[in-house]
Amino acid sequence: MDTKTKKKLEAGGWKTGDARDFLELSDAEAEFIEMKLALAQDLRARRLERHLNQTQLARIVGSSQSRVAKMEAADPTVSIDLLVRSLLKLGAARKDLAKALSEGPHRAVS
Amino acid sequence: MDTKTKKKLEAGGWKTGDARDFLELSDAEAEFIEMKLALAQDLRARRLERHLNQTQLARIVGSSQSRVAKMEAADPTVSIDLLVRSLLKLGAARKDLAKALSEGPHRAVS
DNA sequence: GGAATATATGCCTCTTGTGACATATACTAC
DNA sequence: GTAGTATATGTCACAAGAGGCATATATTCC
């Protein structure tokens, strides 16, 4: 299993100790993780666009630097709700989020 | 305030006792509620398409009838995470959700 | 090398969301 | 009316997420 895939799985809270775990990752679960990754990427992109560091963004969205870091890493402990609420506070509109979602995380190699 | 708007606000956990509360509903909060409503509508639509009742859907998504009812009502106690996970288990793809989101809840009058 | 800054990780407490159950209401058909 | 079915609402115990803090790991300057 390549590093990228492993990272993605772990972002969803999955351990990649053996093949069984991998095979039990249903389509729904995989899609869910990809959605989180897409939103996470979008959040980071918007933050960098504004030349903000994570601490500054934390103030804007009413959270802490560590949460922001976890959001951008699509950590298993952050919800889509938090990602969406943060993005909205950064000025994103519903359709912006829809776009980010449908485009999904950009894959370098497929 | 018309009944429709009131319903929407309450779906987001807002009480409409006076004008202050209404004015404090930021754009971000309004968008968030609308996203939930859009997903809720989509969930109901997909359930009806399959001629399922809420109890049957509950089994599919691994929850209870009451939760399904609350999901479809965009109740303040249901998260976007739950709505999204349920929709994915119903076979929706990321792009389907994106479409539902960008179209938003259909408004009769604007 | 060290200092300064930015980001990542681990943990803890408090809050929120979840599933489940009971119960209430709505709607049909008889 | 009653019975049956579907949906809605209220509550609760438990699980999951959140914010915050400390600390670790970059990264960039001197």
Do B8 and B37 form a contact (C-beta atoms < 8 A)? yes
Dist CA A75 CA B47 (whole Å): 31
Residue–nucleotide distance: B88 CA to C26 C1' (Å): 30
Q: Considering only residues 91 to 110 of chain A, which have any Cβ-Cβ distance to chain B shorter than 8 Å?
A: 93-95, 97-99, 101-102, 104
What proportion of chain A, given as a percentage, has pLDDT over 70? Answer: 71
pLDDT of residue B15: 58
Does residue B95 register a pLDDT over 50? yes
Q: Which residues of A42-57 are buried (b: 16+ CB within 10 A; e: fewer)?
A: bbbebbeeeebebeeb
Q: How close B33 gets to chain A, by Cα (Å)?
A: 10
Q: Which residue is nearest to nucleotide D8 (CA to C1')?
A: B69
Closest Cα partner for B32 from A95, A57, A94?
Answer: A94
Do A98 and B98 form a contact (C-beta atoms < 8 A)? yes
The pair of three-digit structure tokens given for residue B76, joined into one six-digit string: 């303040």
The pair of three-digit structure tokens given for residue A91, joined into one six-digit string: 């000025």
Q: How close A25 gets to chain B, by Cα (Å)?
A: 13
Q: What is the pLDDT of residues A26-63, one digit of tens each?
A: 889 999 999 999 999 999 999 999 999 999 999 999 99
The label of the residue with tokens 């939103």 reads: A39
Band (A6; pLDDT cuts 50, 70, 90) = low
Band (B102; pLDDT cuts 50, 70, 90) = confident
